[in-house]
């Protein structure tokens, strides 16, 4: 899954790029997808026989009744999917058979299609509906910061002391990245958190036209490739993605927080009136009018992009993750056509907010909810079950820790990035055995941003943020995809941003960043 924030101040919180998606998972042996055999009765019998004298003595000394057994709990979990699984109930039953003996709880899985996820969750929250777990993120329907600001999520700092395995399984840098005003409201789904940007290109076109991928060093270097595809492949779309085709800021030297990289004053600016942005828009407009960019890019939703890529008729996609082993996932996304990654930036730690799971403020069983998340982060058997389904039906083993997903079965979503820790999961056919080791190494060694650990609190400017998001929806998408003439529309966009309160937002963002910089000895 790919996720990148626009680095322009008015777009930092208003326009978020989609994912990619990212994924993978796995267990370590064939027995992991079934509950362990219960030897309690035979063990108890043996213990009684061996310790009969002691038990008799204890019986005469004990008069208090044994404590009542804890009643079982049913949890409810809402999360995003791109394809509704036909075998959902069968997998849920297997999950509950596995977790009930472990945490004395079962779970009701509530997958929601991506296109309606945000509205569904917001409606439930507005109605104060009782449920336990929900998927959250810093993009699309996950809407993490806004949910925190509205008091919809439960802080879990104290609860984490009761789930030490979960706390230990996730690095402190990841926990720190989730914090809002010093509190943790989400459990990160561990995956690639050190991302590079570049292009995913169908290999068949590289081979056919002898494309020198080593010559592609920047975003603009892809233009000759797009022209070749356009001129010679009338049935192929040269490049397609959702409206925010590129992360303007990172490629033009701006930090995600909105300041120019290398600026000792860390001054946040509105980049929409900067010459680099105008150049960027002019390039996008030229590509669009030349027929390189998919004609409906400005209005295309995430699920529509997935469907379009699946046809195999898209030659190139902008990729904001470039994760180890990601070519296998993208082959599936590109209609089962092999892809080649061409990186144009160095890996940088981008944080874990791209995918998390949170506990609803209305949960009646938050401790059990966190115990479930502890299992999805530490127990390969459960993680593989919820991600890949049932062995020999939804997938088959093709190696010690490698599987082949059955595309004809009713559970093929392969969304480990939604559920927990992909680094404990199976590898998929075609992924190198060291994929997870390379992923961990990248996460640990990638360049850290200058303000790593800092996150904006949107509450002081939430009204302006909503207004700016609406303006971006109206103007920004069309501009960034080249669908409209920037000479005519950019001035309207700039004026609308000012009226929406971009000045106040920028001022508040600067105040927060300055306070953080001072507190951390950086200013």
Residue 299 in tokens: 């209005």
Residue 91 near residue 59 (C-beta atoms within 8 A)? no
Asked if pLDDT for residue 22 goes beyond 50, the answer is no
Residue 156 inside a domain? The answer is yes
**Residue 172 is assigned to a structural domain of this protein:** yes
- Kindly state the greatest CA–CA separation across the chain: 93
Least confident of 41-50, 125-134, 319-328, 387-396: 41-50
pLDDT at residue 449, as a whole number: 85
CA–CA separation, 25 vs 20, rounded Å?
16
> Which one, of 87, 99, 90, 92, lies nearest residue 77 by Cα?
92
Q: Looking up tokens 């993009």, which residue turns up?
A: 139
Asked if residue 141 belongs to a domain, the reply is: yes
Instruction: Label residue 63 by pLDDT band (50, 70, 90).
Output: very low
Q: How confident is the model at residue 522 (pLDDT cuts 50, 70, 90)?
A: confident
User: Rounded to an integer, what is the distance from CA 53 to the centroid of its chain?
Assistant: 58
Helix segments in 252-389, DSSP class H: 275-289, 302-310, 326-333, 366-378, 380-388
What pLDDT is attached to residue 246? 60
Q: Round to whole Å and give the CA distance between 500 and 272.
A: 14
Query: With 70 as the cut, is the pLDDT of residue 43 above it?
Result: no
Strands 339-343, 133-136: pairing kind: unpaired
Decide: residue 164, CB within 10 A, 0-12 exposed, 13-18 middle, 19+ buried. exposed
Can you tell me the mean pLDDT for 369-380?
98
Angle at CA of residue 269, ends 241 and 445, nearest 5°: 60
The model's pLDDT over 169-217, given as tens digits with 9 standing for 90+, comes to 999 989 999 998 889 999 999 999 988 889 999 999 999 999 999 999 9
Write the DSSP string, 126-185: HTT----EEEE-SSGGG-HHHHHHTT-B---TTGGGG-HHHHHHS-HHHHHHH-BTTB--
pLDDT band, very low/low/confident/very high, at 466 (cuts 50, 70, 90): confident
pLDDT for 336: 93
Contact 300, 307 (CB under 8 A): no
SS3 305: helix
**Sheet of 237-239, strand order:** 237-239, 314-319, 198-202, 339-343
Comparing 333 with 232, the larger pLDDT belongs to: 232
Phi/psi at 194 (5° precision) = -120, 100
Mean pLDDT, residues 280-303: 92
| pLDDT surpasses 70 at 58 | no
Q: Which CATH number does the domain housing residue 175 bear?
A: 3.40.190.10
Indicate the helix (H) or strand (E) that contains 314.
Answer: strand 314-319
Q: Which stretch of 18-22, 134-138, 361-365, 384-388 has the lowest confidence by average pLDDT?
A: 18-22
Q: Which residues of 240-250 are buried (b: 16+ CB within 10 A; e: fewer)?
A: bbbbbbbbbbb
Question: Where does the pLDDT of residue 31 fall: very low under 50, low under 70, confident under 90, or very high at 90 and above?
Answer: very low
Burial of 313 by CB count in 10 Å (0-12 exposed, 13-18 middle, 19+ buried)? middle
Give the total number of structural domains in the chain: 1
Q: Which residue has the higher pLDDT, 421 or 15?
A: 421
Give a yes or no: residue 185 inside a domain. yes
Rounded to whole angstroms, the Cα distance separating 234 from 182 reads 54
Report the distance separating Cα 429 and Cα 141, nearest Å. 31
Rounded Cα distance, 202 and 223, in Å: 15
pLDDT band at 92 (very low <50, low <70, confident <90, very high): very high
- Supply the range of the domain harboring residue 77: 46-56+70-191+353-384
Residues 177, 471: Cα–Cα separation, whole Å? 28
399 or 43, which is more confident? Answer: 399
Tell me: pLDDT of 484 over 90.
Answer: yes
Between CA 470 and CA 109 the distance in angstroms is: 32
The average pLDDT across 333-338 equals 94
Model confidence at 4: pLDDT above 80:
no
Task: Read off the pLDDT band of 68 (50, 70, 90).
Answer: low
298 CB neighbour count, 10 Å cutoff? 20
Give mean pLDDT, residues 1-14. Answer: 38
H-helix or E-strand spanning residue 318: strand 314-319
Evaluate whether residue 132 is within a structural domain. Answer: yes
Pairing of strands 427-428, 402-405: parallel
Helix (H) or strand (E) holding 52: helix 52-61
Smallest CA-to-CA distance from 6 within 281, 416, 299 is with: 281
**φ/ψ bin of 99: left (φ > 0), alpha (ψ from -120 to 50), beta (otherwise):** alpha
Least confident of 224-233, 264-273, 484-493: 264-273
Q: Is 186 helix (H, G, I), strand (E, B) or coil?
A: coil
Question: Is 378 part of any domain?
Answer: yes
How high is the pLDDT of residue 244? 61
Residue 269 placed within a domain: no
CA 246 vs CA 15, 16, 160, 470: distances in Å: 11, 11, 37, 20
Locate 46 and state its tokens. Answer: 């043996």
Q: Mean pLDDT across the stretch 286-295?
A: 95
Give the integer Cα–Cα distance in Å for 95 and 303.
Answer: 27
Q: What percent of the chain has pLDDT over 70?
A: 86
Give dist(CA 107, CA 200) in Å, integer: 37
Is 338 within the bounds of a domain? Answer: no
Q: Cα(366)–Cα(364) distance, rounded to whole angstroms? A: 6
The CA distance from 500 to 494, in Å, is 10
């Amino acid at each position: 899954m790919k996720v990148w924030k626009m680095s322009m101040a008015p777009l930092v919180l208003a326009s978020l790029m989609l994912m990619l998606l990212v994924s993978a998972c796995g267990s370590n042996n064939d027995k992991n997808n079934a509950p362990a055999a219960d030897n309690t009765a035979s063990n108890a019998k043996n213990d009684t026989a061996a310790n009969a004298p002691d038990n008799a003595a204890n019986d005469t000394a004990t008069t208090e009744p044994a404590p009542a057994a804890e009643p079982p709990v049913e949890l409810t979990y809402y999360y995003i999917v791109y394809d509704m699984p036909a075998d959902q109930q069968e997998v849920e039953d297997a999950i509950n058979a596995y977790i009930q003996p472990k945490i004395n709880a079962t779970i009701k899985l509530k997958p929601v299609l991506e296109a309606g996820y945000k509205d569904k969750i917001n409606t439930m929250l507005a109605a104060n509906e009782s449920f336990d777990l929900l998927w959250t993120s810093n993009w699309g329907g996950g809407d993490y910061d806004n949910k925190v600001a509205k008091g919809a999520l439960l802080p879990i700092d104290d609860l984490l002391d009761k789930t030490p395995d979960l706390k230990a399984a996730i690095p402190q840098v990841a926990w720190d990245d989730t914090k809002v005003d010093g509190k943790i409201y989400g459990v990160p789904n561990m995956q690639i958190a050190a991302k590079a940007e570049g292009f995913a290109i169908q290999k068949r076109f590289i081979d056919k036209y002898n494309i020198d991928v080593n010559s592609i060093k920047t975003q603009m270097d892809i233009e000759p490739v797009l022209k070749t595809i356009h001129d010679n492949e009338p049935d192929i779309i040269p490049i397609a993605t959702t409206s925010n085709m590129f992360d303007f800021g990172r490629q033009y030297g701006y930090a995600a927080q909105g300041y120019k990289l290398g600026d000792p004053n860390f001054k946040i600016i509105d980049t929409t009136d900067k010459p680099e942005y105008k150049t960027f828009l002019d390039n996008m407009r030229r590509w669009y009018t030349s027929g390189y960019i998919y004609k409906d890019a400005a209005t295309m939703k995430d699920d529509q992009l997935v469907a379009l890529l699946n046809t195999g008729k898209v030659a190139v996609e902008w990729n904001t993750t470039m994760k180890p082993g990601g070519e296998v996932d993208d082959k599936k996304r590109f209609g089962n056509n092999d892809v080649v990654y061409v990186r144009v930036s160095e890996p940088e730690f981008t944080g874990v907010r791209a995918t998390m799971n949170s506990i609803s403020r209305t949960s009646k069983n938050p401790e059990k909810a966190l115990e479930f998340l502890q299992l999805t982060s530490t127990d390969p058997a459960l993680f593989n079950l919820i991600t890949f389904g049932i062995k020999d039906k939804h997938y088959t083993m093709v190696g010690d820790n490698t599987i082949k997903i059955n595309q004809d079965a009713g559970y093929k979503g392969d969304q480990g990035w939604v559920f927990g820790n992909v680094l404990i999961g199976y590898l998929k056919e075609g992924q190198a055995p060291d994929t997870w080791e390379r992923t961990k190494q990248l996460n640990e060694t990638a360049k850290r941003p200058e303000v790593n650990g800092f996150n904006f609190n949107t509450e002081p400017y939430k009204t302006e943020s909503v207004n700016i998001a609406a303006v971006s929806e109206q103007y920004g998408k069309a501009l960034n995809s080249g669908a409209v003439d920037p000479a005519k529309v950019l001035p309207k966009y700039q004026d609308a941003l000012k009226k929406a309160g971009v000045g106040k937002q920028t001022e508040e963002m600067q105040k927060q960043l300055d306070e953080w910089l001072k507190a951390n000895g950086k200013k």
